Amino acid sequence: MDLKDLKDWLYRCPKCNSCKYLYKDYNKSCPSGEKFRWETYWGSGRVWMAYALKNGELEWSDSIIKAIFACPTCGNCAEQCEQEIKDHLIDIFEALRAEAVKSGYGPMPEQKMYAQFAAEKHNPYNEKHEERTSWMPNPITMKDNAEILYFVGCTSSYREKEIANATLEILKKLNLDFTVSKDEWCCGSPLLRTGQIEDVKNLIEHNIELFKKMGIKKIITSCAGCFRTLNKDYTDLKDLGIEIQHISDFLLEKLKDADLKEMGVKVTYHDPCHIGRHSGIFDTPRDLIKSIPGVDLVEMKRIRENAWCCGAGGGVKSAFKDWAVEIAIERIKEAEETGASILLSSCPFCHRNLNDAIKKSGSKMKMIDIVELLQEQI
Ligand code: SF4
Ligand code: SF4
């Protein structure tokens, strides 16, 4: 969405400040505002900046660019806001980033590299495209025409490979007509979230052509970012009759009558922003966890709509490396307070950043994805 499409919303924030704290207990909501402590780093300040830049009352500068991009777009401000503008806040933040890119001032240098790598190698990690499926220890036969496509995503393909492997093993155990494609390209999430709209078009066109060619009816993802992007930003998919499901929704359906093995363990669950606040998936991951006999799910203080972000999204993990881990350390401490020994999530990007935080803080918490937990119990 362009900033000009949102112009009627840019003066609709009365600066009531409700977005700065959780409505339920006045706990902290915004990692960005809490860190930098200037109005421009809170949700309300971002709207104000957008208004002033749009109306020529403010000029681009390095400090403005930093404020625009220092936000994991977690959406907690939108959740706490009680005015009509709440449904447009994330669109305004992303349109502001796109405007910064269009004007030649953004994104942050580290984020600019995603576009170059995605164009050359179809992933933002600068890894070889030919090695996209090398995460599989026992390669499956990739069918040309299965009904279900497991869209693996770049982070699970090249970094958090155990999540891709666990998902694959579960799908194999369920004996489903599914496939994985070596022609999958980055879904475009890192570019869309950092305003690099022009650079994402090729990726989206390629993936849609691939889905059409393969005759896919359903796409499942184990990545919260891929899910959000395919579900909300690939607007053509629904017209093509292709259903998108996050693995937690998919497995809850498939495993409803399964006899899962028992395990005695206390766990807690971190809601990834992209399936949680951005997509409304809060219950199914919890129901899946609770479906394993002997698993005791204990909740953190800030959960579901009010969850503290892991800090990795919106390009923060690459452009503000230390701060991203700082945000995650706060989440790890909250997880430790529950007395759980395992922290679960359902997103490779959360997995990565929370694991970095565990290492940096010397925590004894074990970070695993729900699919890794389930793989052993099916
Ligand atoms: S999206 Fe998250 S980090 Fe960004 S302004 Fe809103 S609450 Fe703060
Ligand atoms: S964004 Fe919403 S909650 Fe925040 S100051 Fe504006 S109207 Fe109030």
What residues line ligand 1, using a CB cutoff of 6 Å?
A: 29-33, 42-43, 46, 71-77
Residue linked to tokens 């693995």:
247
> How many Å apart are CA 183 and CA 329, to the nearest integer?
36
> How is residue 48 written in tokens?
């104000």
Percent of the chain topping pLDDT 90: 94
| Number of independent structural domains in the chain | 3
CATH number, position 160: 3.40.50
pLDDT at 174 over 80: yes
> How is residue 377 written in tokens?
């119990």
Are 193 and 296 contained in the same domain? no
As beta bridge partners, residue 267 has 297, 342
Provide the residue range defining the domain that includes 170.
109-253
> How many Å apart are CA 297 and CA 289, to the nearest integer?
7
- Distance from Cα 221 to the centre of ligand 1, integer Å: 25
Q: Does the CB atom of residue 16 touch ligand 2 within 6 A?
A: yes
Domain boundary among 253, 283, 302: 253
Are 127 and 200 contained in the same domain? yes
Q: Does the CB atom of residue 44 touch ligand 2 within 6 A?
A: yes
169 contact partners, CB below 8 Å, separation of at least 6: 375
Atom of ligand 1 nearest to the CA of 309: 2
Q: How confident is the model at residue 262 (pLDDT cuts 50, 70, 90)?
A: very high
Ligand nearest to the CA of 309: 1
- Return the residue whose CA atom lies nearest to atom 1 of ligand 2: 44
Q: Does the CB atom of residue 81 touch ligand 2 within 6 A?
A: yes
Report the largest interatomic distance among the alpha carbons of the chain, rounded to a whole angstrom. 63
Are 115 and 199 contained in the same domain? yes
CATH number, position 282: 3.40.50.1860
> How is residue 315 written in tokens?
């390009």
Q: Could you tell me if 252 and 346 are in contact, meaning their C-beta atoms sit under 8 angstroms apart?
A: no
Ligand nearest to the CA of 28: 1
Domain boundary among 102, 126, 160: 102
Are 187 and 275 contained in the same domain? no
> Would you call the peptide bond into 107 cis, given omega within 30 degrees of 0 as the criterion?
yes
Q: Look at residues 111, 104, 110 and name the one whose alpha carbon lies nearest to residue 60.
A: 104
Q: Could you tell me if 268 and 335 are in contact, meaning their C-beta atoms sit under 8 angstroms apart?
A: yes
> How many Å apart are CA 106 and CA 264, to the nearest integer?
49
Are 127 and 225 contained in the same domain? yes
Are 219 and 150 contained in the same domain? yes
Q: Look at residues 359, 341, 348, 362 and name the one whose alpha carbon lies nearest to residue 310.
A: 348
Is the pTM higher than 0.85?
Answer: yes
Q: Please report the pLDDT score of residue 257 as a whole number.
A: 86
Are 210 and 268 contained in the same domain? no
Are 130 and 234 contained in the same domain? yes
- Distance from Cα 70 to the centre of ligand 1, integer Å: 9
- Distance from Cα 74 to the centre of ligand 1, integer Å: 5
| C-alpha of 85 from chain center | 22
The alpha carbons of the chain give a radius of gyration, in whole angstroms, of 20
- Dump pLDDT digits (tens) for 206-223: 999 999 999 999 999 999
- Dump pLDDT digits (tens) for 234-252: 998 989 999 999 999 999 9
Are 75 and 157 contained in the same domain? no
Are 114 and 96 contained in the same domain? no
pLDDT at 142 over 90: no
Percent of the chain topping pLDDT 70: 100
Are 51 and 131 contained in the same domain? no
| Torsion sign over Cα 305, 310, 315, 320 | positive
Q: Look at residues 65, 92, 100, 77 and name the one whose alpha carbon lies nearest to residue 10.
A: 92
Domain boundary among 102, 117, 137: 102
Q: Does the CB atom of residue 17 touch ligand 2 within 6 A?
A: yes
> How many Å apart are CA 81 and CA 266, to the nearest integer?
34
Are 120 and 245 contained in the same domain? yes
